[in-house]
A and B are shown apart, each in its own frame.
Chain A
Amino acid sequence: MYARILLVNSRDTLGDMIRIGYAAFMREISDEKLMQRYAKGDAKAFDQLYARHRAPLYRYFIRQVNNPATANDLYQGAWEKIIKARHSFKPKAPFKVWMYRIAHNHLVDHFRRMKPEEPVEPDTLSDRHSDPSKDAIKNEQNELLRAGIGALPVDQRNTLLLKLESGLKMEEIAKVTGVGRETVKSRLRYAVNYLKRSLVE
C-alpha cells in the first residue's frame, strides 16, 4: 500500500519535474527556434512564443487605432497570418522583425481599407480621451502622452510604437516598414520633438 502511494507520488513528482524542466527549457529557447519548432508541429512552442509577444503586439495595435474592437480584430488577424505563414519563416532573420513586418503590413492594409474620412485624426483622439471620468482615474501625464501618440501622423506613430513596443533597432524598423534607416531616424526625431512639446505645454 505504502509502496504504491510512494510509487504514485514519485511518478507525479517525476511528471512535475519533467513539466517544469520542459517549461524552463522552452523559456531558454530563442524565438527563432520556437518558431521553427512550431512550424514542425510543436504546438507548445507556439504557446511560449505567444506568451512572450502577446502584450507588446496588442499594445502596438491598440495604440495605433485607439479602439479596442478594431485593435482586437487587427491583433487576431495578425496572429492568424503568422500562423499561416509559419512555414515561410527563415531563422536567418530575427523572429521579431518577421512578426512585426506581418503586423505592420496588416495594419497598413487596414488603413488602406478605411475610408478617407475615417483615419484617426489627432483632434478626434484628443477629444476622445478628454473624458472627465477617465481623466480622473488615469494619470494626467499618461493621458497626455497617449493623446500625443495618437495625434502623431501615422508613419511617425508607427515608427515610434515599433521602437517603444518591440525594442527593434533602427535598421530593423527600417526593414519592417520598408524604408531607409535615415527615414526611420527622421520620423522618430519628429515624433519625439512633437511629444516633448505637447507634454511641456
Chain B
Amino acid sequence: MTNLITVNGVTHRYDKHKVLEDVSFSIKKGSFIGLVGPNGSGKTTIIKLMLGLEKLQKGTVETFGKPIEKFHNKGHISFVSQKANSFSRGFPATAKEVVSMGLTSKVSPLRPTTKKYEYMIFEALDRVNMMEYANHNIGDLSGGQQQRIFIARAIVNNPSLLILDEPTVGVDTENVEQFYQLLSQLNKELGITLILVSHDIGTITTHVTDLLCLNKSVHYHGNPSDFEQMTDEQRSTLYGHDMHTITHEH
C-alpha cells in the first residue's frame, strides 16, 4: 500500500514549551486513522504541520511523495477544522455557496462555474444528505447540519485525503454516531483516506481502521481491536497519561 503522508522525527515547540517530540508515523492510502490524545497532546499541531499551516522546526513531513515545503495542494488534501463550526453565524451565505468554496482551486473566471461544477456541488450535498438545505442560510442550520455542509465542502473536489480536526465539537450526541457512519461511508465507498482527530477514543475505535495515540510522542499506532483488548493500566502506560475508556451506548 502507498503511503500518502510520512512524518519522520518531528519535534515542535511553542516558545519554550515542547508540544511534539520525535514523532514518526505514516498514513497508508485507503486507511481511516483515528488520531487520539488528551487535550494539549499536540494533535492539532501535527495536523497543521501535515497541512503546511505551521512551519517545520525539526524532522520531515512527506506529502504525496514530496517534502511538505515543496507540496502545492491542488485538491489532494482537504480539511474540516475545529473552527469550522465557530464561524460567524450571521455570515450571509447559503449552504450551496459554502460547498462551492471547496472548488475554489478549480474554478476561475476563464472557466466559469459550469454545469459540471453545479453537479459536483449537488452530488456532495446529496452524499451528506443535505440536498434539501442547499438554499438555506448556513447560520440557520443546526451544529450537526453545519458540520455535514463542511464535510460536503471538503469532499466536493474529490480529495484523496480528508483530515478532520475534532469535527464533532458542537454536534448533538445523537447525531455523532450518524456522523461517524457518514465518515465510514466516505472511506469505504469513495476510497477517501481519513484522519479523524478526536479525544474520544471510546466511540471512534469502532469505526477506524488504525488508531494513532499521541501525547507529545506516538504511544500507539496499530489496530484498534488490539488496543481495545488492553487493560486500562496497560493503556495508561502506553499513553503516558492516566486514562479510562468510556463506553458509549447507542
> Do A and B associate with each other?
no
- Which B residues have a C-beta under 8 Å from some C-beta of A? none
